[in-house]
Structure 1
Amino acid sequence: MVEELLAAGIAAGIGIVVYLAGAARVVKQYERGLVFRFGRLRAGVRSPGFTLVVPVVDRLRKVNMQIVTLPVPAQEGITRDNVTVRVDAVVYFRVIDPANAIIEVEDYRFAVSQMAQTSLRSIIGKSDLDDLLSNREKLNQGLELMIDSPAVGWGVQIDRVEIKDVSLPETMKRSMARQAEADRERRARVINADAELQASRKLAEAAGVMADQPAALQLRLLQTVVAVAAEKNSTLVLPFPVELLRFLERATESQPAPRTGAQPQGPGAHPQGPEQAVGPKAVPAAPAPAAGQAHAPVHTPEPHAPEQAVGPKAPLRCANADPGLPRATSDDATGLPQPPPGPVTEPDPAPAPAPAPAAGTPSQAA
């Protein structure tokens, strides 16, 4: 009898140990447990620690509540300004509702990964290249909102999304490099021009001080000579006195300016300035005719242009005229040549032409 009781106790103990071994479960601190009895979710979530389930009847499903780092594969797309780029990102999320994460979606990790890829391609097409390169914070926030909207129903919360790298074509990289180089060169030129402007202002102030104090200019000249002599060269520097230059400058300023135009010489010459315009130039008279010849009519010369200035009036002379014959003189009032005094004979009239022979009349022999 005792032996039977002892055997039954041992069997019961073994059964209890086996039951406990099949029913005991341990939930870790970062996990939550869901119990399914005959495939139906039981109310309540098993907290971390030791818990028991009914063997064969219940099934415990553990859900990780830690933040998951999910890399998004590189996606190739065309930006709004028609530039082909490859962009990859990383998503940080965690489960906030274990029941929805297990029931509402088959694999919440895969679902979040696919949603991140489609959202990344969509955000590439809506953005410019400059935004992808310089305004990533705004793009990260927009991408986070696009992924978080459907993930809330899955019991998943998106903590943050970061764009890791933006790959550009080689041609675009070279173009951007040239643009950056041109911008740096422009800024360098602006800085050099500003420095030249400031230096010119300081030099102008220094020149004013040296003009007021001549001794300062001499000291500066001596410093220049010392600086040149300090180098090992064979150049001989002879300083030129500044006072001598100033003396020559004052002498040049005090010298009167030369008059323009030559003054006529002689007792009867009238002074004539460059601005006085004289009447028309005197035209020499034609040679006087010989005795018994008729005088040719005198033609009045045309006056010259008013802007032509000539010298004082002079008596008209003919180089080929006979000294014994009277000479033509010019009138003092008009400056035109006058015929010599004496009787003027009229020229012989030209003979009249012979009348033409009438028609039918025989011509006379020569």
Structure 2
Amino acid sequence: MESLIAALALAVVGYIAGSVKIINEGNEGIVERLGQYRRSLKPGLNFVIPVFDTVLVETTREQILDVDPQQTITRDNVPLTVDAVMFWKILDVPKAYYGVEDLESALTNLVVTALRGEIGQMDLRETVSGRNKINQSLLHQLDEATESWGVKVMRVEVQELAPSKTMLESLELERAAESKRKATMSETESTVESIQRISRALHGQPNSQAVLQYLIAQKYVDANLKLSESDNSKIIFMDPKALTETIGELISADQTELGNNGNGTNL
């Protein structure tokens, strides 16, 4: 009799122990009875039916999903490597558990698809200056898409937007060519301005032609000296007479203009 009472007492203690389920703060439990969803368990002390009930625990804390760098293409066909991170949390545990097979994998695929679609609608300049715009657009798209899964997307941050190595080299060459073009234009404008000053200074002088020939000869010698100092120097034959005639025509034209305007200057 005593052994029976002891056995019953142990059974009761075991039943009570098996029926008690404590859920920690930041988690939520799901109760399945014989394979079917019955109810959710909130943080604290909960009671279930041993053997018949199975408890599954999911976190409701904010989680981080770091997406691996992805290859994307902008609207102007520039390849970019994009790296993003998403912060999310489960608001409805039953929806998150039963609504999708693999929640984290589904979220990753969703982020990658949205990221490629957003970058594909922008050109390179827009992506470089519009990172905040990309973040906000992704947040809106992902939060809306994950609502049916009981998930809340808190924020999305694009960490890196990097063109390919080939594209970076191409951009660098383009910048160098643009700088060289501007320098050449500036030098040309400076040369023209110098010739115009000489023209004004020589206007009306009896020895203007001789002075002009001297200046051109000096420039000719200086140019050849600089050319000979170059590692890949080449011999170039120039006709000083032709240069004199060309610049002489320019000076004559400038002098005519000065004469017409009545602004000639005599030394």
For the superposition of Structure 1 and Structure 2, which TM-score range results when normalised by the shorter chain?
0.5 to 0.7
- Structure 2 stretches lacking a partner, 5+ long: 182-267
SS at match of 2:122: coil
- Using the TM superposition, name which of 176-185 and 129-138 deviates more: 176-185
Long gaps (5+) in structure 1: 187-366
Q: CA deviation at 1:180?
A: 6.3
Secondary structure in structure 2 of the residue aligned to 1:160:
strand
In 2, the alpha carbon distance for the partners of 1:184 and 1:142 equals 36
Counterpart residue number, 1:53 = 48
Aligned pairs for 1:172-251 (under 5 A) are 172-177=167-172
Structure number with bigger Rg:
1
Q: How many residues align?
A: 183
CA contact (8 A) 1:35 1:61 kept: yes
**1:26 aligned onto 2:22:** yes
State how far apart, in whole Å, the 2-side matches of 1:185 and 1:59 are: 74
Partner of 1:40: 36
Q: Map Cα deviations across residues 231-265 of structure 1 (whole Å, 9 max, x no partner).
A: xxxxxxxxxxxxxxxxxxxxxxxxxxxxxxxxxxx
Query: 2:75·2:123 contact (CA, 8 Å) conserved in 1?
Result: yes
Q: TM-score scaled by structure 1?
A: 0.46
Whole-angstrom CA distance in 2 between matches of 1:25 and 1:121:
44
Q: Does 1:84 align with 2:79?
A: yes
The separation in 2 between residues aligned to 1:137 and 1:184, in whole angstroms, is 31
Deviations 1:257-311 (A, max 9, x none): xxxxxxxxxxxxxxxxxxxxxxxxxxxxxxxxxxxxxxxxxxxxxxxxxxxxxxx
* Alpha-carbon distance in 1 for matches of 2:180, 2:5: 95
Question: How far apart, CA to CA, are the structure 2 residues paired with 1:163 and 1:185?
Answer: 35
Deviations 1:99-135 (A, max 9, x none): 1111211222111111111111111211111122221
Matches within 5 A, 1:314-333: none
User: How is 1:212-361 mapped onto 2 (pairs within 5 angstroms)?
Assistant: none
Using the alignment, how far apart are the partners of 2:175 and 2:25 within structure 1?
Answer: 53
- Scaled by the length of structure 2, the TM-score of the pair is 0.62
**Is 1:167 aligned to residue 152 of structure 2?**
no
In the other structure, the counterpart of 2:102 is 107
1:69 pairs with 52, 64, 81, which one? 64
Identity of aligned residues (%): 33
CA distance in 2, matches of 1:32, 1:48: 6
Deviation at 1:176, TM superposition (A): 3.7
The whole-number CA distance in structure 1 between the counterparts of 2:164 and 2:100 is: 39
Per residue, is there more strand in 1 or in 2?
Answer: 2
User: 2:2 matched to which residue of 1?
Assistant: 6
- Change in CA separation of 1:184 and 1:35 when aligned onto 2, cut-off 3 Å: farther
**Deviation string, structure 1 residues 321-347 (Cα, Å, up to 9, x no partner):** xxxxxxxxxxxxxxxxxxxxxxxxxxx
- Alpha carbon RMSD of aligned pairs, Å? 2.5
- Return the offset for 1:183: 8.9
Kindly indicate whether the alpha-carbon contact (under 8 Å) linking 2:81 and 2:164 is maintained by their aligned counterparts in 1.
Answer: no
